[in-house]
Amino acid sequence: MAKRLNILYRLMFLVFGFGIVLCCQKVETKKLSHDAMIAYRVDSLLALMTLEEKIGQMTQVRHFSDIQKGDIGTKYIGSVIHTNGPLPGEGAYGWQAKFTALQKEALSTRLGIPLLFGVDAVHGQNTFKGATIFPHNIGLGATRNPDLVQKAAQITAIEAQATGFNWVFSPCVAIPYNEKWGRVYEAFSESTEVTQAMAKASVRGHQGNLSDRTTVMATAKHYIGDGATDFGIEGGNTTVSSNEINKRLLPPYQEAVKEGVGAIMASFNTLNDMPLHAHKALITDTLKTKIGFDGIVLTDWKGYSKYGKNAIVNAGVDMVMAVDGDLDLFQNGLKNGVEKGSVSMDRINDAVKRILRQKYRLDLFNKPFPDTTLIQKIGSLDHRNTARQAVRESLVLLKNDNNVLPIDKQVKKIVVVGEHAHNSGLQSGGWTISWQGDIENYEGATTILDGLKRYSNNIIYDADATGNHVDADIAIVVVGEKPYAEFFGDINENTGFKLTLSEAHKKYINTYVNAGVRTVVILISGRPLVVTDQLRAVDAFVAAWLPGSEGDGIAEVLFGDYDFSGKLPHSWPESLEDFSGRFGPNFWDNSIKPLFQFGYGLSY
Ligand code: BGC
């Protein structure tokens, strides 16, 4: 009997085991067949395309200025970008309607290839008034919370889709070497490890399964060395060694590629005077061949005419941001190059395959239009709650003497100082509503002051520190940088930006400190600043970065409903001398000692 049972068990085990093997094979074939199906479709479509149609797919234009009516069809445009300039329409329905109309033009061409619609949604769908605006990446880096970054990216994808886009030019995975660079805040951290973790989370959040209408294609940018230029000059030259590139700069890209990132944008900078756009060794040999990136390499703004025309295509660029007069120059120039044999047909075919592959992965051939039901989710409470959580978790407490924080809700008089305390434009930085940012409150946002007022009826707002309220028990002084974005935000004589607080902001602090009022400083900035004297003088100091639309989240931590948990994403410099070198302050060089180490951050 026992023997029979044994045989029976063995038989059952065999059948079960065989079942599992079959099952796994089925999953494997199914997965393979999805990729194989896309490859088959790409090849079949490519075989039907003329050279003009192929070059068209490689072209990205704005929905205004670059094109005349009908150009989408006659120039076989592959992608449309929305950026600084005229809005696509009135409200989200208007935006969707505009992009739907352009999509219809593309679909009515001979081969009916759908368009990719891309946008600089770099901290939420920040080009749309009323969207949820997250803290800039530097603040997300401070949270050390990849799950939250993933959630923020998911929300950004929904709000981007709701306004008509299927592609975002985010995340920036730069490693800033020099805090003078005007784009430090677009990057998560000086740490490669933190940036890797956040890059992975961001790509996963944006792209999801890629094929439904709540996700978008992501772009890791700017490849490579954007934040490593000498003296922090945007688009400048970098001289870092290939060892440095491999060790510090490449890993976030490797992580993004592993996560299936759909696009990578080439960088404005040069490496030992060679434009990155034309750097075949880094684009083709390293990124595509060695790392195995099978998505689209896109130029940055006007990259074709700026960085060597067809040389950039030969280096491995697949799609060109053909803006500001580059459209015909690019299309005719590339056609000429192919006809003359200086650009191979193989290279063109590879570029177009990469573009079509992403369009199939996004399932655009079946679902080319945005979904109007998503519009109600723009700036929804649910989305804002996640952004508020990100604000709370991004705050880094640098000093808290005599337990001035958390603030006692019963305190008799609190004076709030500084224009940054009550201006959602100032608290959000560049790439918010407009390219260089705004100095106005915008729709749906709350300010820091709004949040504080929810906790106490005893708050007085003294915007420019008149000195009339030195009888206050506590002063909360909000100071920092004005909004800026690329080029305009570098710290040098031309831009006017400095590494220190303005004289006016120093005065705001001194007015209350000198009168003996317990003073808390909230610093709004896109990078660490040299604030050593102020740090010494005040009771508490919070680095709040660029929190975005949910400014009221700050009060929730100041009043102690939540604790501080943010950790410095950058080492904090002590003096201006720290910045004297090419990479100043380069805290990987142990000869410079930071005031606060990377990772520093107090809690209650
Ligand atoms: C920036 C990119 C951005 C692009 C499109 C460029 O100037 O460097 O980060 O994605 O413009 O607006």
Confirm or reject: Cβ of 83 under 6 Å from ligand 1: yes
Q: Output the six-digit token pair for 7.
A: 């045989």
**132 Cα distance to chain centroid:** 14
Q: Is residue 485 part of a domain?
A: yes
- What's the rounded Cα separation, in Å, for the pair 65 and 439? 27
Do 316 and 268 have their domain in common?
A: yes
Confirm or reject: Cβ of 186 under 6 Å from ligand 1: no
Beta bridge partners of 168: 119
Domain stop point among 345, 368, 391: 368
- Could you count the other beta carbons within 10 Å of the beta carbon of residue 496? 10
How large is the average pLDDT for residues 398-420?
A: 97
- Could you count the other beta carbons within 10 Å of the beta carbon of residue 171? 32
Measured CA angle at 189 (ends 286, 295), to 5 deg:
35
Q: Of the residues 300, 319, 435, 484, which should be mutated to test ligand 1's pocket, given the most ligand atoms within 8 Å of the CB?
A: 300
Q: pLDDT value at position 525?
A: 98
Q: What 8-state DSSP symbol labels residue 325? A: T
| Ligand 1, atom 11, residue with closest C-alpha | 301
Q: Considering only CA atoms, which of 146, 251, 143 is closest in space to residue 198?
A: 146
Q: Is residue 455 part of a domain?
A: yes
Q: Of the residues 186, 301, 484, which should be mutated to test ligand 1's pocket, given the most ligand atoms within 8 Å of the CB?
A: 301
Q: Is residue 138 part of a domain?
A: yes
| % of the chain surpassing 90 pLDDT | 89
Confirm or reject: Cβ of 487 under 6 Å from ligand 1: no
Q: Is the dihedral of CA 538, 541, 546, 548 positive or negative?
A: negative
Q: pLDDT value at position 578?
A: 84
Atom of ligand 1 nearest to the CA of 120: 10
Q: Is residue 600 part of a domain?
A: no
Q: pLDDT value at position 577?
A: 86
Q: Is the pLDDT of residue 14 over 90?
A: no
Q: What total of structural domains would you count in the chain?
A: 2
Q: Which of 486, 539, 552, 556 is catalytic?
A: 486
Q: Is residue 604 part of a domain?
A: no
Q: Is residue 560 part of a domain?
A: yes
Do 361 and 314 have their domain in common?
A: yes
Q: pLDDT value at position 32?
A: 57
- What's the rounded Cα separation, in Å, for the pair 412 and 242? 59
Edge-to-edge strands, sheet with 518-524: 396-400, 540-545, 518-524, 474-480, 414-417, 459-462
Do 354 and 432 have their domain in common?
A: no
Q: Considering only CA atoms, which of 202, 222, 184, 216 is closest in space to residue 301?
A: 222
CA of 352 to the centre of ligand 1 (A): 22
Q: Considering only CA atoms, which of 538, 603, 433, 550 is closest in space to residue 139?
A: 550
Q: Tell me: the pLDDT tens digits for 344-390?
A: 999 999 999 999 999 999 999 999 999 999 999 999 999 999 999 99
Do 240 and 112 have their domain in common?
A: yes
Q: Output the six-digit token pair for 543.
A: 């680095």
Q: 561 and 582 in contact (C-beta within 8 Å)?
A: no
Confirm or reject: Cβ of 301 under 6 Å from ligand 1: yes
Peptide linkage before 171 cis (omega within 30 of 0): yes
Confirm or reject: Cβ of 450 under 6 Å from ligand 1: no
| Ligand 1, atom 6, residue with closest C-alpha | 301
Q: Of the residues 183, 233, 486, 488, which should be mutated to test ligand 1's pocket, given the most ligand atoms within 8 Å of the CB?
A: 486
- Could you count the other beta carbons within 10 Å of the beta carbon of residue 18? 10
Q: 257 and 219 in contact (C-beta within 8 Å)?
A: no
Q: How confident is the model at residue 401 (pLDDT cuts 50, 70, 90)?
A: very high
Confirm or reject: Cβ of 226 under 6 Å from ligand 1: no
Q: pLDDT value at position 583?
A: 77
Atom of ligand 1 nearest to the CA of 268: 8
Beta bridge partners of 223: 266
The mean predicted confidence, pLDDT, of the chain is: 94
Q: Is residue 33 part of a domain?
A: no
Domain stop point among 368, 399, 414: 368
CA of 117 to the centre of ligand 1 (A): 14
| Ligand 1, atom 8, residue with closest C-alpha | 300
CA of 446 to the centre of ligand 1 (A): 27
Q: Which of 300, 326, 450, 556 is catalytic?
A: 300
CA of 363 to the centre of ligand 1 (A): 26
Query: Can you give the residue range of the structural domain that contains 62?
Result: 49-368
- What's the rounded Cα separation, in Å, for the pair 484 and 495? 10
Segment among 128-132, 170-174, 401-405, 585-589 with least mean pLDDT? 585-589
Beta bridge partners of 558: none
Atom of ligand 1 nearest to the CA of 222: 9
Domain stop point among 314, 340, 368: 368
Segment among 267-271, 438-442, 558-562 with least mean pLDDT? 438-442
- What's the rounded Cα separation, in Å, for the pair 347 and 567? 45
Give the residue, 255 or 584, on which the prediction is more confident: 255
Do 337 and 390 have their domain in common?
A: no
Burial of 180 (0-12, 13-18, 19+ CB in 10 A): buried
The CATH number assigned to the domain holding 548 equals 3.40.50.1700
Q: Of the residues 61, 169, 277, 321, which should be mutated to test ligand 1's pocket, given the most ligand atoms within 8 Å of the CB?
A: 169
| Strands 167-168, 237-238: pairing kind | unpaired
Do 201 and 345 have their domain in common?
A: yes
Confirm or reject: Cβ of 159 under 6 Å from ligand 1: no
Q: What is the DSSP string of 517-539?
A: -EEEEEEE-SS----HHHHHHSS
Do 280 and 395 have their domain in common?
A: no
Q: pLDDT value at position 30?
A: 52
Q: Tell me: the pLDDT tens digits for 15-35?
A: 444 343 334 334 444 555 889
Q: Is the pLDDT of residue 10 over 60?
A: no
Q: Output the six-digit token pair for 524.
A: 């709004």
Q: What 8-state DSSP symbol labels residue 278? A: G
Rg (CA), the chain: 26
- What's the rounded Cα separation, in Å, for the pair 436 and 482? 10
Q: pLDDT value at position 579?
A: 81
In the residue annotation, 300 being an active-site residue is answered as: yes
Do 336 and 469 have their domain in common?
A: no
The CATH number assigned to the domain holding 125 equals 3.20.20.300
Q: 560 and 407 in contact (C-beta within 8 Å)?
A: yes
Q: What 8-state DSSP symbol labels residue 268? A: S
Q: Is the pLDDT of residue 539 over 70?
A: yes
Q: Of the residues 66, 120, 436, which should be mutated to test ligand 1's pocket, given the most ligand atoms within 8 Å of the CB?
A: 120
| Ligand 1, atom 12, residue with closest C-alpha | 83
Q: Is the pLDDT of residue 138 over 80?
A: yes
Confirm or reject: Cβ of 255 under 6 Å from ligand 1: no
Atom of ligand 1 nearest to the CA of 219: 10
How large is the average pLDDT for residues 424-448?
A: 95
| Strands 274-275, 459-462: pairing kind | unpaired
Confirm or reject: Cβ of 598 under 6 Å from ligand 1: no
Give me the torsion for CA of 222, 223, 224, 225, rounded to 10°.
-10
Q: 104 and 69 in contact (C-beta within 8 Å)?
A: no
Q: 124 and 548 in contact (C-beta within 8 Å)?
A: yes
Q: What 8-state DSSP symbol labels residue 286? A: I
Do 221 and 316 have their domain in common?
A: yes
Do 321 and 409 have their domain in common?
A: no
Atom of ligand 1 nearest to the CA of 221: 9
Do 144 and 265 have their domain in common?
A: yes
Q: Tell me: the pLDDT tens digits for 550-594?
A: 999 999 999 999 999 999 999 999 998 888 777 777 677 777 889
Q: pLDDT value at position 526?
A: 98
Q: How confident is the model at residue 440 (pLDDT cuts 50, 70, 90)?
A: confident
- What's the rounded Cα separation, in Å, for the pair 332 and 337? 9
Q: Is residue 335 part of a domain?
A: yes
Atom of ligand 1 nearest to the CA of 186: 9
Tokens 């030259």 sit at which residue? 237
Q: Output the six-digit token pair for 189.
A: 């951290």
- What's the rounded Cα separation, in Å, for the pair 291 and 241? 19
Segment among 295-304, 371-380, 432-441 with least mean pLDDT? 432-441
Do 289 and 149 have their domain in common?
A: yes
Residues 6+ apart with CB under 8 A from 427: 420, 447, 448, 524, 544, 546, 547, 548, 551
